């Protein structure tokens, strides 16, 4: 436990101390974010703040994370460094989506292929399991893992739209993974240490990033955090029970929820999936009248709820997990319609309830 505490404090202090210097660096090299019709901020802001997160993480990782004997840890470190470098280049040069995707695929391939971070055995809620460690399914383990890592990386990147939003949500997800790793027992201390190191770095930067922000994390930070969360979700839960397949999805509930319905929204509106818009969860909450800070705190609360549910699910039975997940999915879909994530005209549940209410009222009147 002392290693976790010292690792957390070291990364927090280094990230906190490094952020003002990173801010000056970003301004001097022109790594700034200019406002436009799609952005919420109204003034030029330095970005590339993720470099401060990486600085805190790097120092603490080298001092406290036991990557000796855990080659996957070293793989996450190298892959994270690659994707962080891609983020720096994008913050400065505005890389095309193809080059950003190439960098993410390279980082994911590095941690998966030479360092062996892959999905393992998924025990099903009924009898049997899906074993990705042997037979022909072994060939699917690597591509599925790479797709997961790239998908989560981009999901975290997409929610980086308000001051402190992506950093705060990432901090909550990281803290949740640390708690679950500790609950999983002695074989997961290295995962917990890594989570505490990453958490400290995020919080050290968040002081400068929370509304009103003095610096943005940019793609340097959002890609780095997304990559780490994706890789940790596999490393921390790949060899457990059926809930090990569910928990990472619940932990990362907010970015995955927002990204899934962003894709649905663009398909419904017949727009390219990669086209940017102002229909994300934080945009919808702002449109409902919430202030900038209230919107961020609301999404924090949702993230804490998802994190709490993930922790609870580690101690439930398989069928209880299925029932809870069904209830969560229903609640998420209802919330999606209420806030208008897909669009104000696409509300099948709400419209069905209204029709039933009208019919009930007509019957009562007769």
User: pLDDT (tens digit, 9 = 90+) per residue, 291-347?
Assistant: 989 999 999 999 999 889 888 887 777 777 778 888 888 888 888 888 888 877 777
Cα–Cα distance between 183 and 303 in angstroms, integer? 20
Q: Helix, strand, or coil here: 34?
A: coil
* Whole-prediction pTM: 0.89
Q: What is the dihedral of CA 162, 61, 111, 82, to 10 degrees?
A: 60
Question: What is the DSSP secondary structure assignment for residue 213, as one 8-state letter?
Answer: P
Is the pLDDT higher at 41 or at 162?
162
Q: Residue 242: its pLDDT value, please?
A: 42
Q: Helix, strand, or coil here: 247?
A: helix
Query: Residue 238: is its pLDDT beyond 70?
Result: no
Burial (CB count <10 Å: 0-12, 13-18, 19+), residue 3? middle
CB neighbourhood size of 143 (10 A)? 13
Cα–Cα distance between 191 and 184 in angstroms, integer? 10
For residue 103, give its domain range.
Answer: 2-365
Cα–Cα distance between 258 and 155 in angstroms, integer? 8
Number of domains the chain contains: 1
Could you tell me if 52 and 205 are in contact, meaning their C-beta atoms sit under 8 angstroms apart?
A: yes
Mean pLDDT of the chain: 86
Is the pLDDT higher at 253 or at 114?
114
Task: Return the percentage of the chain with pLDDT > 70, whole number.
Answer: 91
Sign of CA dihedral 298, 322, 352, 265: positive
Cα–Cα distance between 82 and 136 in angstroms, integer? 30
Cα–Cα distance between 242 and 122 in angstroms, integer? 6
Sign of CA dihedral 66, 68, 69, 71: positive
Average pLDDT estimate for 19-44: 81
Cα–Cα distance between 20 and 360 in angstroms, integer? 62
Q: How confident is the model at residue 170 (pLDDT cuts 50, 70, 90)?
A: very high
DSSP β-ladder status, 32-33 and 45-46:
antiparallel
Reply yes or no: is the peptide bond before residue 10 cis, omega within 30 of 0: no
Is the pLDDT higher at 249 or at 263?
263
Could you tell me if 156 and 226 are in contact, meaning their C-beta atoms sit under 8 angstroms apart?
A: yes
Cα–Cα distance between 308 and 240 in angstroms, integer? 19
**Residue 157 known to bind ligand:** yes
Q: How confident is the model at residue 107 (pLDDT cuts 50, 70, 90)?
A: very high
Q: Residue 167: its pLDDT value, please?
A: 94
Is the pLDDT higher at 205 or at 342?
205
**Residue 36 known to bind ligand:** no
Q: How confident is the model at residue 171 (pLDDT cuts 50, 70, 90)?
A: very high
Q: Residue 123: its pLDDT value, please?
A: 62
Question: What is the DSSP secondary structure assignment for residue 136, as one 8-state letter?
Answer: G
The top-scoring range by mean pLDDT among 3-12, 128-137, 143-152, 275-284 is 3-12
Q: How confident is the model at residue 264 (pLDDT cuts 50, 70, 90)?
A: confident
Could you tell me if 112 and 118 are in contact, meaning their C-beta atoms sit under 8 angstroms apart?
A: yes
First to last CA, the chain: 69
Backbone angles phi, psi at 123, to 5 degrees: -75, 130
Whose tokens are 């080298």? That residue is 62
Burial (CB count <10 Å: 0-12, 13-18, 19+), residue 330? exposed
């Amino acid at each position: 436990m002392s290693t976790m505490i010292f690792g957390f404090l070291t990364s927090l202090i280094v990230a906190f101390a490094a952020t003002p210097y990173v801010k000056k660096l970003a301004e001097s090299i022109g790594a700034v974010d200019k406002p436009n019709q799609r952005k919420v901020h109204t003034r030029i802001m330095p970005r590339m703040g993720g470099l401060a997160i990486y600085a805190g993480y790097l120092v603490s990782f080298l001092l406290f994370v036991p990557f000796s004997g855990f080659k996957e840890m070293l793989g996450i470190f190298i892959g994270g460094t690659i994707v962080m470098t891609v983020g720096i280049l994008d913050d400065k040069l505005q890389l095309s989506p193809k080059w950003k995707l190439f960098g993410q695929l390279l980082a994911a391939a590095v941690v998966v292929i030479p360092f062996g971070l892959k999905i393992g055995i998924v025990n099903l809620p009924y009898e049997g399991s899906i074993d990705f460690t042997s037979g022909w399914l072994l060939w699917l383990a690597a591509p599925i893992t790479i797709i997961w890592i790239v998908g989560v990386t981009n999901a975290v990147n997409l929610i980086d739209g308000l001051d402190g939003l992506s950093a705060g949500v990432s901090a909550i997800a990281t803290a949740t993974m640390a708690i679950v790793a500790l609950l999983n027992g002695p074989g997961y201390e290295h995962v917990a240490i890594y989570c505490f190191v990453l958490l400290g770095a995020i919080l050290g930067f968040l002081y400068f990033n929370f509304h009103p922000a003095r610096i943005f994390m940019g793609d340097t930070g959002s890609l780095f955090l997304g990559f780490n969360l994706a890789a940790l979700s596999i490393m921390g839960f790949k060899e457990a029970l059926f809930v090990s397949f569910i928990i990472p999805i619940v932990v990362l509930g907010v970015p995955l929820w927002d990204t899934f319905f962003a894709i649905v929204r663009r398909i419904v509106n017949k727009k390219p999936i990669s086209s940017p818009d102002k229909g994300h969860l934080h945009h919808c909450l702002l449109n409902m009248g919430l202030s900038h800070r209230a919107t961020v705190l609301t999404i924090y609360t949702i993230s804490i709820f998802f994190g709490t549910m993930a922790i609870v699910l580690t101690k439930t039975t398989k069928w209880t997990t299925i029932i809870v997940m069904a209830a969560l999915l229903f609640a998420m879909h209802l919330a999606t319609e209420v806030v208008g994530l897909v669009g104000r005209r696409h509300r099948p549940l709400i419209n069905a309830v209204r029709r039933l209410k009208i019919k009930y009222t007509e019957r009562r009147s007769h």
